[in-house]
Amino acid sequence: MERAAADPRAIVVGAGPAGLMAAEVLSAAGVAVDVNDAMPSAGRKFLMAGKSGLNLTHAEAAEKFVTRYGGRSEWVAPWLRGFDADALRDWARGLGVETFVGSSGRVFPKDMKAAPLLRAWLHRLRATGVRFHMRHRWLGWAGDALLFETPAGQVKVGAGGTALVLALGGGSWAKLGSDGTWVPLLRERAVDVASLRPANCGFDVAWSDHFRDRFAGQPVKSVTASFDGTHKQGEFVVTQHGVEGSLVYAFSAALRDAIEAEGSATLLLDLAPGKSLERLTQEIAHPRGARSMASHLQSRAGIAGVKAGLLRECAAREDYADPARLAAAIKALPLKLVAPRPLDEAISSAGGVRAETLDERLMLKAMPGVFCAGEMLDWEAPTGGYLLTACFASGRVAGRGALAWLRARTGDGDR
């Protein structure tokens, strides 16, 4: 069936932060906007991200902030110049949501919740005339029309003369709508899409049954991890399959790439970051008398519980006979990672529509009037507010690009 009503001038597919920001830019300029999403309600993944406290952005200096996007920093930088962390905080304030900077530099709403911000935003969008069509799953194109699967069956929406903004998310958290089903739809149109890969993810480790049974689910706190010359302190969690948590996520892109290239990656763990190697060696060399090695390591080196288990799991047996070797193992314990966890378990995904296929307005060069934004683009970032900031910023770029394209078509470029 054909959707009744005149073709909208702008269609947004995806009701996450990027799509909603594009809709806001367009509707604020007087453009009629229809937002379509496969889920029953808007912002499902956004709400999940805020379940334990919405990390909206980061208070880091702009020069450092942009480096968090790694090899895509130059591509992302113009988006952030147009809508940076301060602009995002001001935008939230305009919705009645005040923010604060945590001790780590991360920025949160004062009530820590995502729902009030999303409710206020949706209310404002509806007040400007944005129409929402939920449970409308985009199936691609049918000639010049867009095809959607809806509770009432398939619906065609004429797209001639309209701007189309695709903000379809990545490939993680399929149950929340980011399922990557759009990838073949764009590839069918000869759009170059890099395969989606897990980002900010956990990794598999070949634990022994004894270690897994005893320590799965336990946090490993106050450790320093090192990989490829980078050192970070924090904590992670032992899982049935391997490891996950903030410290692991901080290295996930580099670890994933190394595993793809070499078959495995070794993360070095300093289990006693507060002690130098020299001091640790002296402590371990202290006579232990009748005490067990476990009691000795706990009293002299602070190694107990899951840390002691990791040491037994990853150090060589002969290391325990030599204080210098054992201290060296504690300060640089090799943890071999054999695979990233599946894409759907990841916090976010890497890959997506390649930069080379888009112009500076995020319009597909081969498909005039079609814009892409958010996590479906080929960039990635660590957790800490960087992901959300770039999603908002790219949505704004795509929305402004769509607005400029529409105005050029109608000869209204000076409005």
* Distance from C-alpha of 65 to C-alpha of 75, rounded to nearest angstrom: 13
What's the CA gap between 128 and 90, in Å, rounded? 20
Query: Is residue 64 classed exposed, middle or buried when 0-12, 13-18 and 19+ CB atoms within 10 A define those classes?
Result: exposed
- In this structure, the answer to whether residues 306 and 169 fall within a common structural domain is no
> What integer pLDDT is reported at residue 288 of this predicted model?
85
Cα–Cα dist 351/97, whole Å? 32
Q: Are residues 94 and 192 in the same domain?
A: yes
121 and 249, same domain (yes or no): no
- Looking at residue 7, its pLDDT comes to 44
Quick check: 158 and 216 in contact, CB under 8 A? Answer: no
Token pair listed for 59: 């208070």
Q: 2 lies in a domain?
A: no
Please tell me whether residues 182 and 248 are part of one structural domain: no
Q: 265 and 388 share a domain?
A: no
Whole-number Å distance between alpha carbons of 17 and 266: 36
Q: Is residue 75 part of a domain?
A: yes
169 Cβ partners below 8 Å, 6+ apart?
14, 16, 45, 177, 178, 179, 374, 375, 376
User: Helix or strand or coil: residue 150?
Assistant: strand
Classify 33 as helix, strand or coil: strand
State which of 305, 340, 375 marks the end of a domain: 340
In whole angstroms, what separates CA 365 from the centre of its chain? Answer: 26
Which residue's structure tokens are 């890959």?
351
* Whether residue 180 is found in the same domain as residue 237: no
> Per the domain annotation, does 1 fall within a domain?
no
Which residues does the chain have with pLDDT short of 50? 1-7, 414-415
Domain identity same for 176 and 217: no
Whether residue 102 lies inside any domain: the answer is yes
Question: pTM value?
Answer: 0.92
Residue 4 lies in a domain: no
DSSP code string of 358-372? B-TTSBBTTSTTEEE
Q: 253-277 as b/e, with b when 16 or more CB fall inside 10 Å?
A: bbbbebbeeeeebbbebbbbeebee
Instruction: Assess whether 187 and 250 both reside in one domain.
Output: no
Is the domain of 212 the same as that of 293? yes
User: Does residue 92 belong to any structural domain of this protein?
Assistant: yes
Q: Do 189 and 208 have their domain in common?
A: no
- Do 351 and 389 lie in one domain? The reply is yes
Given 340, 366, 386, the domain boundary residue is 340
Domain carrying residue 404: 10-199+346-410
φ, ψ at 379 (rounded to 5°):
-145, 165
Q: Quick check: is 317 in a domain? A: yes
57 burial class (0-12, 13-18, 19+ CB within 10 angstroms)? buried
Long-range contacts of 235-239 (CB under 8 A, 24+ apart): 238/207, 238/306, 238/310, 239/202
Residue 3 lies inside a defined structural domain of this protein = no
Taking only the tens place, the pLDDT of each residue in 284-339 is: 999 988 889 999 999 999 999 999 999 999 999 999 999 999 999 999 999 999 99
Please check whether residue 260 is in contact with residue 201, taking contact to mean a CB–CB distance below 8 angstroms.
no
Q: 244 — phi, psi (to 5°)? A: -155, 175
Write the CATH number for 28. 3.50.50.60
Domain boundary among 307, 323, 340: 340
- C-alpha pair distances (Å), 301 with each of 78, 145, 273: 49, 68, 11
Give the integer Cα–Cα distance in Å for 370 and 19: 13
Structure tokens that stand for 254 in this block:
């580099």
Q: Say yes or no: 108 and 184 in one domain.
A: yes
**Structural domain total, the chain:** 2
